[in-house]
Structure 1
Amino acid sequence: MTQTLTIRRPDDWHLHLRDGAVLAAVLPETARHFGRAIIMPNLVPPVVTGAQAAAYRDRILAALPEGMTFEPLMTLYLTEDTDPADVEAAAASGLVKALKLYPAGATTNSASGVTNFDKVRPVLEKMAEIGLPLCVHGEVTDHDIDIFDREAVFIDRVLDPIRRATPGLRVVMEHITTSDGVDYVKSNTENLGATITTHHLIINRNHILVGGIKPHYYCLPVAKRESHRQALRKAATSGDTRFFLGTDSAPHTDENKESACGCAGCFTASNTMSCLAQVFEEDGALDRLEGFASLNGPAFYRLPANEATITLTKGDAVTYPDKIETADGPITVFDPGFPLHWAVTEA
């Protein structure tokens, strides 16, 4: 029997679009279903000033196919040289919706990230004053810390001290991957939210490593134990408004993924809504999908929910292209490992 579900048009609160040929190829995959997205600033060179964010926004809008509507929500890359006055002006103009904190070396194009957090304290204090959120890649980068423990250590060593030292700072813990992250959000009722990705709801570390290394499941933060995946699913489907969708959809060409040092990232923009509907249905929470994908994020960012809607229909298995072709080479679309029966039929 056919089932349908109509929800407010969703938003993506953590998205990589890259630039140039890749931007032109992947942008329609998001704009087809999503109204807005928080755009990551880790280009080369990174987007660190309001002027650079405005130029990047213009390039995104120029790449948007005719007939599609989509609003890029711009961010600045926090560095130790970030100017609080520039941040304030960019936020006041309505252009910039958040700053992004990358610990130096934590992930793709993060070499310009922060090593000395005392140097960014004036920026964080200005952000607390004006209510601008800080989006956090929550991992330490110490070589003596196991990669599977880096999120939990970051919470204790970095995030909690930052929040205690800067009362009122609004923080999004991006792409949480552990029960530690879930528990930290749930224990803090003020000024704290967290995004959860599509792929972290579906894969654990076995998917990356069992039966050979699977480069298209390799991401940062890396997928963890099954117990952590279950904690993420419980949080996402719970209806708790502090958790919302941020896909961290991260396009890399196959040449860069399938190499001796494969780039980290899963490209999920194309099939995220089908994947999420499947996950929420399996967990008996289809009535909570709209909150997770369409309502909780805007509420945290103090923006109205989208007025437009999309309709998902359950039926025969829906197929997506295995790859998105770009002038720089193909990008493999995330494979959830099971048939998808929910398709976006109206958007």
Structure 2
Amino acid sequence: MQRLAAALRLSTPTHIATRRTIMSGPSQITLPSPADFHVHVRQGAMSELVTPHVAQGGIRTAYIMPNLVPPLTKTEAVLAYKKDLERIAPKTEFLMTLYLHPEVTPEEIRKAAKAGISGVKSYPRGVTTNSSSGIEDYGVYYPVFKAMEEEGLVLNLHGEVPSDDEKNISILNAEKHFLEHLRKLAADFPKLRIVLEHVTTSEAVECVKSLPANVAATITAHHLWLTIDTVAPQPHHFCKPLAKEPKDRKALQDAIKSGNPKFFLGSDSAPHPSASKAPSISESGELHACAAGCYTSPYLVPLVATLLESFGALDKLAGYVSEHGRAFYKVPAKAGDELTLRRPATAVKVPARLDGAEGIEVVPFWAGKELGWEIVN
């Protein structure tokens, strides 16, 4: 068994899916109400396709991102969006967020808190999908953060700074440069719950570990597998923040393996039409940029179980996908809402594509690869 574990640690990411048949251990696992604390379900026809996939992938509670077009900066808009999501997927519990913006005032925070909105998402301007309305100066939002601290809302941080050639800041080191902002916010608002979203670097892991208990971090499924080498040749692996070096991936894996409750699942599952992930030229002759995002919702919990087993952390699955995040967000699991996984009798592969209305086609992460687990109920 020790030799097997060593072989798995040394194997490259492309070998993970092929190892299922030789793994030993439990044949069935029951989890207490999995929750995904960072999900994108879009709007319009795309939302009609992907919103049911959240439950299909084993998630009972989903924390929904507000970067729509236009962004969700008003309580009424958030509640209308939630109502539409509940129409599409009535059995999923949706936790909602506001988009940090000049329209989000302390008064709006208090209104949002009374309406049951859970948090506020901060996007630095221009760093990712639909972030053109993002912020440039955290200082001007200190009254908002104070109101959030008082009302118990969570601050969700996209932890990158914009690229800057003169300062040698790029998508490769943008997360490292953001950590000074995280430290300052944590020091200035010691009672504000803060989540550094989708961490990708060993420095971010160590920073979160060093800060008080009111600071936590989400880790995506895809960053547990990707490195910069697997992103470079494959547009469907391109996401923000960008996957980094093998040592950074190992730091994420070790954070989960340690059982530290500061780290929990936030998939950042982000669907894009397949055409937006492929090179294309507009009518004006310009080359379109590749959209940033990996889509994992339809099979998320089996994927996570497969990945955690590959680096010896299967026993930490319940903490990572349910217990730690629910404790931090103060959202208890509902009785009788467990999820059971089992090892499949026959191969279960991620589909090559998912089709929706109006010609929408989405290519999921890990398309064509084999999963080591499947959902029973």
Q: Same fold (TM over 0.5)?
A: yes
Q: For 1:150-229, what aligned pairs fall within 5 Å after superposition?
A: 150-156=174-180, 158-209=181-232, 213-229=233-249
Deviation at 1:246, TM superposition (A): 0.4
CA RMSD in angstroms, aligned pairs only: 1.5
Deviation at 1:131, TM superposition (A): 2.0
**2: CA distance between counterparts of 1:23 and 1:330?**
12
For the structure 1 residues 306 and 287, does the alpha-carbon distance in structure 2 shift closer, same or farther, using more than 3 Å as the test?
farther
1:313 to 332, 337, 342: 342
1:327 aligns with 2:348: no
Partner of 1:27: 51
Q: Deviations over 1:47-76 (max 9, x none)?
A: 001101001001111222xxx610111000
**1: CA distance between counterparts of 2:216 and 2:241?**
17
Q: What residue identity is the alignment partner of 2:257?
A: T
1:81 aligns with 2:103: yes
Deviation at 1:192, TM superposition (A): 0.6
5+ residue gaps in structure 1? none
Contact 2:352–2:367 under 8 Å retained in 1: no
Deviation at 1:29, TM superposition (A): 1.0
Q: What residue identity is the alignment partner of 2:131?
A: S
Q: For 1:56-205, what aligned pairs fall within 5 Å after superposition?
A: 56-64=81-89, 69-94=91-116, 96-144=117-165, 145-156=169-180, 158-205=181-228
**1: CA distance between counterparts of 2:247 and 2:113?**
39
List, as ranges, runs of 4+ consecutive aligned residues in structure 1 with deviation greater than 6 Å: none
**1: CA distance between counterparts of 2:311 and 2:277?**
32
Deviation at 1:338, TM superposition (A): 4.7
**The 10-residue stretch of structure 1 (41-50 or 259-268) with the greater mean CA deviation from structure 2:** 259-268
Q: For 1:12-23, what aligned pairs fall within 5 Å after superposition?
A: 12-23=36-47
**2: CA distance between counterparts of 1:163 and 1:185?**
10
TM-score where L is the length of structure 1: 0.94
**1: CA distance between counterparts of 2:228 and 2:368?**
14
Partner of 1:276: 304
1:39 to 61, 64, 86: 64
Deviation at 1:293, TM superposition (A): 0.1
Q: What residue identity is the alignment partner of 2:32?
A: R
Count of residues in correspondence between the two structures = 338
**2: CA distance between counterparts of 1:102 and 1:318?**
36
TM-score where L is the length of structure 2: 0.86
**1: CA distance between counterparts of 2:349 and 2:334?**
27
Point out the structure with the larger strand share: 1
For the structure 1 residues 336 and 276, does the alpha-carbon distance in structure 2 shift closer, same or farther, using more than 3 Å as the test?
farther
Deviation at 1:337, TM superposition (A): 7.5
**2: CA distance between counterparts of 1:166 and 1:80?**
20
Point out the structure with the larger helix share: 2
**1: CA distance between counterparts of 2:355 and 2:369?**
23
Q: Deviations over 1:312-336 (max 9, x none)?
A: 1113321232211122420001117
Deviation at 1:82, TM superposition (A): 1.3
Deviation at 1:142, TM superposition (A): 3.3
Contact 1:299–1:305 under 8 Å retained in 2: no
Identity rate, percent: 39
Instruction: Report the secondary structure of 2:135's partner residue.
Output: coil
Partner of 2:4: none
Partner of 1:236: 256
